[in-house]
Amino acid sequence: MSQPNLDRRLEHLTTTAKEAGVKLTHQRLEIFREIVLSAEHPDAETIFRAVQKRVPTVSLDTVYRTLWKLHDLGLVTTLGPQRDRVRFDANLDPHHHYICVQCGLVRDFESSELDGLRLPEAVSQLGTIMNAHVEVRGLCSRCQQRLPTQTPNSNQQSQSVP
């Protein structure tokens, strides 16, 4: 995350919050900054633990409420690659995801070719199109080393990999 990018997103937060009559509290700033600065697409619990270091009094509940508020404001998106925790993304630029089915690692990747993909007619008849992106699933290199041989999908659990 480059400095100008961070600044741009923080400014977008400020603008959007003001327009919506939403107050910019210390905890909200820190929670948003945490998502922006992380490439991990963290879940609520992970964000909570990180923010807690700088704001020792935050509650997990505030993290949840803030995340869904940011989501409602269109400032973060969610992704649910597998069971349990929902994970959040503050990268609003067009991009795509690589997801490890073993450990839950999520990484952005860019591709102008993929950004411009043409969707078939049938799709627009289902409803409006707000966003389209590619989701790639596989075993991340770290997980390949850890578990050389194994059945297809067994023992999948998500976890944030810092």
Partner DNA sequence: TCCTACTTGCGTATGATACGCAACAAGGAA
Partner DNA sequence: TTCCTTGTTGCGTATCATACGCAAGTAGGA
Contacts of 35 (CB under 8 A, 6+ apart): 42, 47, 70, 76, 88, 89, 90
Taking CB under 8 A as the criterion, the residue among 24, 54, 93, 109 binding its own copies is 109
Q: Least distance in Å: CB of 37 to its own copies? A: 20
Which of 91, 158 has the CB closer to DNA?
158
Which of 22, 114 has the CB closer to DNA?
22
Q: Looking at the DSSP assignment, which residues form a beta bridge with residue 47?
A: none
User: Any contact of residue 84 with DNA (CB under 7 A)?
Assistant: yes
User: Any contact of residue 128 with its own copies (CB under 8 A)?
Assistant: yes
What is the footprint of DNA within residues 33-62 (CB under 7 A)?
43-45, 55, 57-62
Q: Quickly tell me which residue has 């961070």 as its tokens.
A: 6
Spatial CA neighbour of 40 closest among 53, 49, 27, 28: 49
